[in-house]
Structure 1
């Protein structure tokens, strides 16, 4: 009984951590779990094995239109490529990597739960096809999972590629390629299929078999399922044999073609290059035989050579179709009993059932129907959530870091002005190989991990799948090095680097990014808090068992909230991230420190001032608000308002975690940091003359002055809720935010006031355009604090909240319906989407805005 009471107290505290008081620090040592009260290690191991099982395989190659891989380094990867064969021009326009240059009219996940299934639609109008790519995983049952002492190897799944002709009046022919490659030097992979007498595989089925560390033995089946009428795709494919020289290809019309090649393991991701090279060789031979003016039909000539090299670790399977088509890929682990392996009919039924279950789960996670939304906006929010889930990737390999180079804009010279002459030569070096499980901002433009973006990703992912958000957060936490630094862009491996301009590939250990990972921690604590309202108490059995006997732990919804259901697991997770996160916090305080006394500034706290390193005359890329205007002349005495605000939020989060873990001395220290930051915001950054918060810098007479640019920067103390609800300064902030002649628009809050001289000038990245995640922050601050708490501006805050929420949701949905995409930013004048697309990272927070989940 005593043990249950102590653990119940832990739960009460964990779910009851509220907003940080401005001047007092509470400690909770009576609630701390002692080692003998911690959950048994086997249960934590079991929880990890269960996560490994349900998250082992996925569409973790978001940089291509459709690909599968396990969450393991040096393992196996697969991918899809296609092009049109109506004429020979299609060969020059293969679809593989997500690219704006392909001019697709939309590609998005209509369903994706992050764990077990997904359905994506790709509108390739140029080739006259609507492609649907889907997958379904088979998860082991409870007994099998609980019996896995070292994690579940393998895992089985099925994927389906379907093509539907968009305009039946226009001829449509497409050739598709599914490739499989080993990244491991010790793995095995071979072609094992029943052959016809001529050695060409049957069109309906082909099989690969292999073995690789972490997955064990496996088989891969590629099949063409029978239609409802009992026919496969072969009947329609006979049309491929019409035309010039068709009789020369009768033996291979409608057949599957293939190639196997031995590649360097670090080059196996180049599936498209290998396929194009092989087809090029076949085309060259065909051209020599028939001549340029006498070539056969493209669908007959543009094929793989049907050859397998010795010790091949790369295989591509080609299928060419006329009209509508479907083919399936099945990955069968040797650990999956044959009776439980998927078939084409089972895949059809499973996808249908999964769609229905997803709709029910989505409404539970983001209750939009109960808020009065109709089918169309609910579908919009579902697709945003699914596309965010479908943008999650697993990246592994070496990064590039320069630990010795001091950029010119970070070297203080003379009076403090920055010398723009280089002080040392760059020395970028490859790091040790690392791995990262992460959501990505944009599959076409930014298919990699971005620190600045990830906190917003995790707020959304966590609302749908709490435990997956913790897996991703933990993966980022593991990248924090011994100094407390983590790179702002995670570009791991050659495939990731192939999508990044060279000037952005190197990371620098002096450079930060907005510490948005703390948003994931506070969101987790808030979900714990919300969960407490669902039950009055947890008894001892709740603490000692992760699931009740009736819980179906193969159910994705159950697997998504283990750390909410078990306070012992929640406590264990917070404990596991506390030390590295504390080191990271201290790195910020140590490396991004700003100067106060050097420039005769007066502030309540002598130590709380901050400056982004990595400043150039026109950019502060490390701030995340790249070209937002700062002081005209860079100076080491600069103080940056946004970083000061982020550090206040960081201190608040660290205080909450420390209190939850009974680290009372730390909690008291974090509280003092927070209090000092809040006080110094007014002392160092408030401009009475301009009635706004501003950056600060130093002029040529060594005098400190305010750099006031009306826009997102000036809103940061408000955005991160550091301004008290009854502050007299809140009124000026709300006036600025809601003024149509400054920041307000019918589409969202602009990044820079239209009255600013630099509005819309230069690069115009953060000089006016509307960014959804910043509007999400503003709406969150209004909803949680300024429209909710009593104060002189509460009514005004509520009015602003209602109008802003309506404007943002309406515009993003309108543009999605008009263009088929969500966008990186929106035009401040007409609301049109612009820049990168699809941008299914933080723009998808509009689904949370609809559900009022901040």
Structure 2
């Protein structure tokens, strides 16, 4: 069996080998879906840092991408080339209008700076033994404000990493290629394949060119350039193409002089140079609107793809996505208005379309410096000095990760705590893809149980990260949000019918873990050793000190402190600049971390119960119970009527430091406050108070009354964040719908839930309409989007919020009465 095929289907095959007792129908399901997994997940636009780039989930293989520019004048051309997603390129919005990770979809790039809208319609076509084929239709449509003579150059590049070949099938021609351009290649994993770039329909026009250079550069041809590039530099596609163009520019200027230079659309071209190489550029020049196809055909699939095949597949993908979305994630009241439909589809599609495959080495500090224990007062200065030494910094790997990213222009890489939030809506759409991503993260774990919180794999990924943030530290944690997904899986297998209907294409593979409980149990059994190792790594490395300071608590062991804090930041908590005790102290205990540990313990208990590890389940239940008791004992402040971080004062006494905000409500956010909790009323009051956390645009990260509200970098000191607000909405819904017995807070929770849900959706929707983007955070006063644009990671949770059940007015009134 081929290497890549084995890696993708191994989880299915393992079930057949390990558990021969599985019913025959389950074996048939697994066998059927092993091949479907290869065909539907091998290829994708898994280079989300590019506006469009396709690659397979193979460490070293074929990589492709698209680049374009406006070339109608010399003044703007240098700044007009588009390739990697950037924040400040004059975009009026871009992203996937509809996208299914198994079928494909349509992306629209509204390039206001270049006066053109680019559409990429990408689809996968199953068939053969090597992961199927794929195609993309590229269209350009001038925008309303485009000049009459809008001239655009478009380049498609393809490179082959590792062992394999890639060449141009066409015969060399100094004037360029007439007709389609065909690349042919081969690798162990992909077998034989071709990539055809078509001329497109007759409506395509080329710009006029009366210059003598037109005899050497006829614009109705396609230019093809080949070159050999060191493998480690193949990702630098734009620089390679600029290098190829430079020689052509220099020769044209030398021949005709500056005063009689050819027009820019002739100058900014690659040379016609077809030869052996591992990198090939295919360039076209268009006047006005244009269209052409790129079709990858696996030889093992039989007949190569045609433009007619592509047309049919695009139509099928669109119809399938719309039908399935209306059943799985359609907005519910009060968001049934048609204007919300395209918004919801776009937000979710960009979350799925942000899934990428990454492969490369990681920079890790393995010095295990004693300063990293953070046991001394002034520890943050000692750890800063230890980090500056870089004594144990080294490259590790290579590693590979299948992950949905937070933001294509700014954070095109894997973030551990972001991922759990990303997967909440994805789990509704495709549980199998969700669990593939979860497995991919846990496969990164080292022998101690550590997973790097930020996965910056390879040189290309490191170009997007300031140098001071590239090094990962094996004592740094991150909120364990992936355990939320494991609980979602358990909830679903306990509530789903034994057999789910096949309503849509690939439902059998999407729901393979839900259609039969044995498949889910075997997945959890396979993952369980890694879950256990990671859980106990958390308990060991993020421990807090209770005994040394005579703290009164139910348990002397269940207290926790984030490692890796500086004077102003706790980056490892995910809440960065959220106010913490000052100055830092080794005796600190953090409310959010003990809450995460409570959630993690509950999740481990439920996993152990599900797979029959009863002794382990009892052990986790003990931890869970002790943590819940200690949250009150260590963190509840009677005077402030909220949960607070703890530290040690000048008299060596444990004291609370209360900054009301997200940290204060963490026991509620993580589901650790039951409906009849004595602390719940004060928590709900804090959330709903407009002088504290409530705003018309969502729950603020910090109270308006806090002296640090809106200060310094103001990252987590006032803005509204959608991931935290989703947890608030879900927790409110759980209280509002809990049994009336011992639930005196149903009315208040119902009212807050209904108002907050609408505020959040309207805030994100209005900014999406106004700016064309989702944003990293939102201003609590104005609702304006802030920081990173095109932040379609956890901000896409708005889709899940829209899909949550409404509480009817009658229900709210009954609760209030």
TM range (shorter): over 0.9
Match of 1:358 in 2: 321
Q: 1:417 to 1:136 in 2, by over 3 A?
A: closer
Alignment RMSD: 2.2
Structure 2 Cα separation of the partners of residues 259 and 557 of structure 1: 43
SS of 2:764 mapped into structure 1: helix
> Among residues 254, 264, 268, which one is paired with 2:230 in the alignment?
264
| 8 A contact 1:136–1:347 mirrored in 2 | yes
- 2:221 pairs with 1:255: yes
2:240 match: 274
Using the alignment, how far apart are the partners of 2:271 and 2:428 within structure 1? 49
CA separation of 1:35 and 1:215: change in aligned 2, threshold 3 A: closer
From 175, 182, 198, give the equivalent of 2:153. Answer: 175
The equivalent of 2:190 in structure 1 is 215
Distance 1:473 1:417 in 2: 33
| 1:37 maps to which of 21, 35, 39 | 21
Residue 430 (structure 1) shift: 0.5
Give the equivalent residue in structure 1 for 2:338.
Answer: 375
Asked if residue 388 in structure 1 is aligned to residue 351 in structure 2, the reply is: yes
Match status 1:348 vs 2:316: no
Aligned partner (choices 436, 439, 456) of residue 401 of structure 2: 436
Structure 1 residue 403 and structure 2 residue 341: aligned?
Answer: no
Match of 2:34 among 35, 48, 51: 48
Residue 629 to residue 251, structure 1, CA distance change in 2 (3 Å) = closer
CA distance in 1, matches of 2:372, 2:301: 58
CA-CA distance at 1:409 after TM superposition: 7.0
| 2:173 corresponds to 1:205 | no
Tell me what 2:422 maps to.
457
1:746 maps to: 696
Larger RCO: 1 or 2 (CA < 8 Å, sep 6+): 1
In structure 2, distance between residues paired with 1:94 and 1:850: 37
User: Are positions 1:522 and 2:487 aligned together?
Assistant: yes
Task: Specify every segment of 5 or more residues in structure 2 that has no aligned partner in the other structure, as ranges.
Answer: 1-16, 807-817
C-alpha separation in 1, matches of 2:615 and 2:773:
49
Distance of 1:371 and 1:355 partners within structure 2: 26
Q: How does 1:9-88 map to 2 (within 5 A)?
A: 35=19, 37-38=21-22, 44=30, 47-88=33-74
Q: CA offset at residue 378 of structure 1?
A: 1.4
CA contact (8 A) 1:240 1:254 kept: no
The one of 754, 759, 768 aligned to 1:807: 759
Name the CA distance, whole Å, in 2 between partners of 1:649 and 1:347. 47
User: Over residues 187-237 of structure 1, what are the superposed CA-to-partner deviations in whole Å (9 max), with x where a residue is unaligned?
Assistant: 1011112566x56211x31000011121111001000232xxxx252xx21
Cα displacement (A) at 1:114? 0.7
1:416 CA drift (Å):
8.1
Partner of 2:531: 581
1:99 to 82, 86, 96: 86
**Contact kept? 2:182, 2:195, Cα under 8 Å:** yes
**Matched position secondary structure for 1:106:** strand
Partners of 2:60 and 2:383 lie apart in 1 by 43
Superposed CA offset, 1:34-89 (max 9, x none)? 95534679654654343122100001000000010001101110000111101122
Partners in 2 of 1:817 and 1:804 — Cα distance? 20
Deviation, structure 1 residue 417:
8.7
The reply to whether residue 480 of structure 1 matches residue 480 of structure 2 is no
Q: Once the two structures are superposed, what CA deviation does each residue of 1:644-691 show, in whole Å capped at 9, x if it has no partner? A: 000000011111110011100000000000000000000000000110
Q: Matches of 2:294 and 2:380 in 1, distance apart?
A: 61
Counterpart position of 2:104: 117
Mean CA deviation greater in 474-483 or 586-595: 474-483
Give a deviation string over 1:128-168, Cα, whole Å, max 9, x none.
1011011111123xxx7xxxxxxx31411111110001125
3-state SS of paired residue (2:551): coil
CA displacement, residues 678-735 of structure 1 (integer Å, 9 cap, x when unaligned): 0000000000011000000011211110010010000100111111211221111111
Cα deviation, residue 839, structure 1: 0.3
Q: Distance in 1 between matches of 2:758 and 2:333?
A: 17
SS at match of 1:82: strand
> For the residues of structure 1 that align with 2:195 and 2:687, how far apart are their CA atoms?
57
Mark the CA change 1:681 to 1:156 in structure 2 (over 3 Å): closer, same or farther: same
Shift of 1:803: 0.4
1:706 counterpart = 2:656: yes
**Structure 1 residue 372, shift from structure 2 partner:** 6.1
Contact in 1 for aligned 2:122/2:135 (Cα 8 Å): yes
8 Å Cα contact 2:380/2:567 also seen in 1: no
Q: Counterparts of 1:287 and 1:127 in 2: how far apart (Å)?
A: 25
Matches of 1:617 and 1:334, distance apart in 2: 59
For the pair 1:299 / 2:265, whether they are aligned, the reply is yes
Partner of 1:8: none
The unaligned stretches of length 5 or more in structure 1 are: 1-32, 145-151, 539-546
Q: Distance in 1 between matches of 2:580 and 2:762?
A: 32
TM-score (norm 1): 0.88
TM-score (norm 2): 0.92
Cα separation, 2, equivalents of 1:378 and 1:450: 29
- 1:496 maps to 461
Does 2:785 correspond to 1:833? Answer: yes
Is 2:170 the counterpart of 1:193? yes
Match of 2:593 in 1: 643
SS at match of 1:335: helix
- Residue 413 of structure 2 is matched in structure 1 by 448
Cα 1:825–1:156, aligned 2, differ >3 Å: closer, same or farther?
same
Quote the offset at 1:342 in angstroms. 2.6
Q: Distance in 1 between matches of 2:372 and 2:781?
A: 34
Secondary structure of 1:435's aligned partner: strand
In structure 1, distance between residues paired with 2:785 and 2:384: 39
Shift of 1:125: 1.2
Matched, 1:784 2:734: yes
Paired with 2:495 and 2:728, the residues of 1 have a C-alpha distance of: 22
Q: Would you say the 8 A contact 1:75–1:213 is kept in 2?
A: no
Asked if the contact 2:636/2:642 (under 8 Å) is kept, the reply is: yes
Counterpart secondary structure, 1:824: strand
Change beyond 3 A, Cα 1:283–1:601 = same
Question: Structure 2 vs 1, CA of residues 278 and 347 (structure 1 numbering), >3 Å: closer, same or farther?
Answer: same
Deviation at 1:788, TM superposition (A): 3.0
> How many Å separate the matches in 1 of 2:723 and 2:784?
16
Cα distance in 2 for residues equivalent to 1:135 and 1:421: 47
Residues paired across the two proteins, number: 782
1:84/1:91 contact within 8 Å kept: no
Name the SS for the 2:427 alignment partner.
helix
CA distance 1:320–1:199, change in 2 (3 Å): closer
In 2, Cα distance between equivalents of 1:843 and 1:853 = 19
C-alpha distance in structure 2 between counterparts of 1:162 and 1:415, whole Å = 59
After superposition, where does 1:520-669 map in structure 2 within 5 Å?
A: 520-532=485-497, 555-669=505-619
